[in-house]
């Protein structure tokens, strides 16, 4: 007996529903203004995997949300020291090297880094520095470091990252102290320095600090190098300076939470962005320092000459995990900001 039209239609509907429910997806939790939409679209077109891109503005926000509900994320994008914390706490799943053949495109200096010496849990995405941007049309003083930026005459003309550890680090550098020499004593030593600085700052912005500079709301900034590179590309009046006292070099990585539900899709995405032509698309839109040496071969001479993307060597230092002292930094900064 032939099935009725009703049964055939019901079967088609059930089949469609099953296909929709089985749709592959990837939940990416990453920095804002860091993953080009064209990369997400290209990945979906090639693999059929939909990428749900949720953003955060600091490593501390990432850690907090991952601890609160990490099962929701399949791929995260911490900086090196945050990845170090996650590895210590067992929050990251080991990567399968067989699924990441394009890792060979990374430069040797970006492999086996201190936060993940065996390359077991992380893959570098982009690297960069935190430096000073000067609108040279307005600021004629020589700006060589943090002491030159945080002066009373520049009050309400400064934008900085809304990142507590960054701000504390700059103050430490002015006292000749390492970014990783965090102690209660050192925090007390730089407390008056930060207190004075906070009164001078007009804008705290980690998402898009370049906006205040482009709009002319401020004339100086301490920002991510990729933001500075975009400013320089827009107008050469924006000069990038690595502070003479010292500068932070960050390495942002991709990693898979241990509770991720779509680990295979996460591996596919990592391997996809490691293709030179895809990695170039990231550099085109977000011109940080690209650790993919094969992708660098595809960049234009102008891109490689951008002083913020590929700055001259300075006194660079990476962050390390400082454990519970991170809470002391947050308490210090909350206290000082509330007293502005």
Summary mean pLDDT of the chain: 92
**The CATH number fitting domain 3-126+252-305, selected from 3.50.50.60, 3.90.550.10, 3.40.190.10, 1.20.1250.20:** 3.40.190.10
Distance between CA atoms of 207 and 56, rounded to whole angstroms? 9
Distance between CA atoms of 55 and 73, rounded to whole angstroms? 11
Residue 86's contacts (CB-CB under 8 Å, 6 or more residues apart) are 63, 66, 76, 78, 92, 121, 255
Coil vs helix vs strand at 241: strand
Q: Do the first three CATH levels of 3-126+252-305 and 128-249+317-337 match, i.e. the same topology?
A: yes
Could you report the per-residue pLDDT of 231-281, keeping only the tens digit for each? 999 999 999 999 999 999 999 999 999 999 999 999 999 999 999 999 999
Distance between CA atoms of 43 and 162, rounded to whole angstroms? 32
How much is the pLDDT for 218? 98
Q: What residue ranges do the domains of the chain occupy?
A: 3-126+252-305, 128-249+317-337
HEC secondary structure over 175-223: CCCCCCCCCHHHHHHHHHHHHHHHCCCCEECCCCCHHHHHCCCCCEEEE
Per-residue pLDDT of the chain (340 residues; tens, 9 = 90+): 444 444 444 444 444 433 434 578 999 999 988 999 999 999 999 999 999 999 998 898 999 888 887 568 999 999 999 999 999 999 999 999 999 999 999 999 999 999 999 999 999 999 999 999 999 999 999 999 999 999 999 999 999 999 999 999 999 999 999 999 999 999 999 999 999 999 999 999 999 999 999 999 999 999 999 999 999 999 999 999 999 999 999 999 999 999 999 999 999 999 999 999 999 999 999 999 999 999 999 999 999 999 999 998 778 999 999 999 999 999 999 999 987 6
**Cβ atoms within 10 Å of 331's Cβ, excluding its own:** 12
Distance between CA atoms of 125 and 28, rounded to whole angstroms? 13
For β-strands 75-76 and 220-224, DSSP reports them as unpaired
For 128-249+317-337, CATH gives 3.40.190.10
How much is the pLDDT for 340? 67
Cβ distance 219 to 137 under 8 Å? no
Nearest alpha-carbon partner for 244 in 140, 161, 128, 148: 148
State which H helix or E strand residue 81 sits in. helix 80-88
- Tell me the torsion sign for CA atoms 165, 167, 169, 172: negative
How much is the pLDDT for 13? 41
In DSSP notation, 278-318 reads HHHHHHHHS-SB--BHHHHTTS-HHHHT-TTTSPPP--EE-
Distance between CA atoms of 49 and 22, rounded to whole angstroms? 11
Q: What is the CA radius of gyration of the chain?
A: 22
Distance between CA atoms of 115 and 73, rounded to whole angstroms? 21
**Paired strand residues for 160:** 204, 222
Nearest alpha-carbon partner for 179 in 196, 165, 162, 190: 165
Cβ distance 161 to 168 under 8 Å? no
Residue 279's contacts (CB-CB under 8 Å, 6 or more residues apart) are 105, 273, 290, 292, 294, 295
Coil vs helix vs strand at 118: coil
How much is the pLDDT for 17? 39
How much is the pLDDT for 67? 83
């Amino acid at each position: 007996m032939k099935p009725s039209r009703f049964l055939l239609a019901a079967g088609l509907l059930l089949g469609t529903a099953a296909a929709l429910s089985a749709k592959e997806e990837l939940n990416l939790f990453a920095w804002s203004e860091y993953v080009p939409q064209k990369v997400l679209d290209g990945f979906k077109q090639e693999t059929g995997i939909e990428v749900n891109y949720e953003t955060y503005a600091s490593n501390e926000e990432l850690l907090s949300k991952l601890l609160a509900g990490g099962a929701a994320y399949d791929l995260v994008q911490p900086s090196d020291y945050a990845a170090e914390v996650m590895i210590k706490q067992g929050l990251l799943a080991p990567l399968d090297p067989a699924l990441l053949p394009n890792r060979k495109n990374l430069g040797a200096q970006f492999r086996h880094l201190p936060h993940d010496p065996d390359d077991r849990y992380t893959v570098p995405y982009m690297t960069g520095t935190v430096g000073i941007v000067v609108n040279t049309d307005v600021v004629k003083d020589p700006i060589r470091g943090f002491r030159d930026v945080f002066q009373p005459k520049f009050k309400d003309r400064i934008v900085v990252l809304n990142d507590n550890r960054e701000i504390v680090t700059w103050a430490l550098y002015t006292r000749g102290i390492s970014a990783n020499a965090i102690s209660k004593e050192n925090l007390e030593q730089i407390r008056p320095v930060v207190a004075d600085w906070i009164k001078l700052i007009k804008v705290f912005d980690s998402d898009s600090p370049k906006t205040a500079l482009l709009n002319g709301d401020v004339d100086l900034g301490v920002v991510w190098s990729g933001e500075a590179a975009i400013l320089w590309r827009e107008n050469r009046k924006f000069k990038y300076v690595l502070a003479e006292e010292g500068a932070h070099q960050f390495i942002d990585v991709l990693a898979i939470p241990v509770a991720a539900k779509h680990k295979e899709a996460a591996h596919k995405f990592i391997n996809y962005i490691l293709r030179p032509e895809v990695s170039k698309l990231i550099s085109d839109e977000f011109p940080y320092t690209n650790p993919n040496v094969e992708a660098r071969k595809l960049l234009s001479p102008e891109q490689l000459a951008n002083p913020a993307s590929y700055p001259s060597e300075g006194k660079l230092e990476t962050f390390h995990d400082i454990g519970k002292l991170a809470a002391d930094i947050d308490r210090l900064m909350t206290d000082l900001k509330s007293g502005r």
